[in-house]
Amino acid sequence: MIDRARIAAYSLRAMTRPDPLYHVLFVCTGNTCRSPMAVAALRQALGSDADRVAISSAGTSAWDGQPAARFAIETAQRSGAVLENHRSRRLTPEMAGEADLIVVMEPAHRAALATLGIADDRVHVLSEWPEPGEPTLEISDPFGQSAEAYEECWRRIGRHVERLAVVVREACRSRSA
């Protein structure tokens, strides 16, 4: 479970930067499915507070410039989110270094960040904000699967992101206090 004191500590670190925004970075594998959907879901969950947060995404094995997967675009669109303009980015140490909070989709992504020298308490698996009874620590990659797999992925991401949004709002309030 997430430690709210650690989130507050991220805010203290971020306050030393001239940038007033709180930075959240979502990480998956190809940056065409899960992490772009998570960005869209967090923007929706934050509502008017989204303008206080810089939300971005990257992939551990991404090819720069790829569009979001068609089913990811269609799934997000049905919920009022827009992914048409998304272009994939390969994760770099600089991206990770700018983030106040790094949210990965599965434990393997945490390990990939460690190989970049990012193995600190800013890194969390999205499912650390669990739904009671959820059995797995990862958000499965729907890449190459059916539209239904993308729908299920969107629902799972959304449930976790709703809880994450509470934590992000608290961090933003801590920064502005």
Which residues are catalytically annotated? 28, 34, 141
Whether residue 111 is predicted with pLDDT greater than 80 in this model: the reply is: yes
Whether residue 68 is predicted with pLDDT greater than 60 in this model: the reply is: yes
**Cα separation, 131 vs 3, whole angstroms:** 16
* pLDDT (tens digit per residue) in 71-109: 999 999 999 999 999 999 999 999 999 999 999 999 999
**Cα separation, 4 vs 79, whole angstroms:** 29
Q: Give pLDDT, residue 137.
A: 75
Q: Using alpha carbons, list the distances in angstroms from residue 136 to 71, 119, 120, 156.
A: 23, 21, 22, 11
**Cα separation, 24 vs 122, whole angstroms:** 10
Task: Give residue 31's pLDDT band: very low, low, confident or very high (50, 70, 90).
Answer: very high
The count of other CB atoms within 10 Å of the CB of residue 120 is 12
User: The domain containing residue 157 runs over which residues?
Assistant: 4-176
Q: Give pLDDT, residue 133.
A: 67
Using alpha carbons, select from 121, 129, 123, 177 the residue that is nearest to residue 156.
129
Query: Do 72 and 36 contact (CB within 8 A), yes or no?
Result: yes
* pLDDT (tens digit per residue) in 35-47: 999 999 999 999 9
Number of domains in the chain: 1
Mean pLDDT of the chain: 89
Q: Residue 98 belongs to a domain with what CATH number?
A: 3.40.50.2300
**Cα separation, 23 vs 19, whole angstroms:** 9
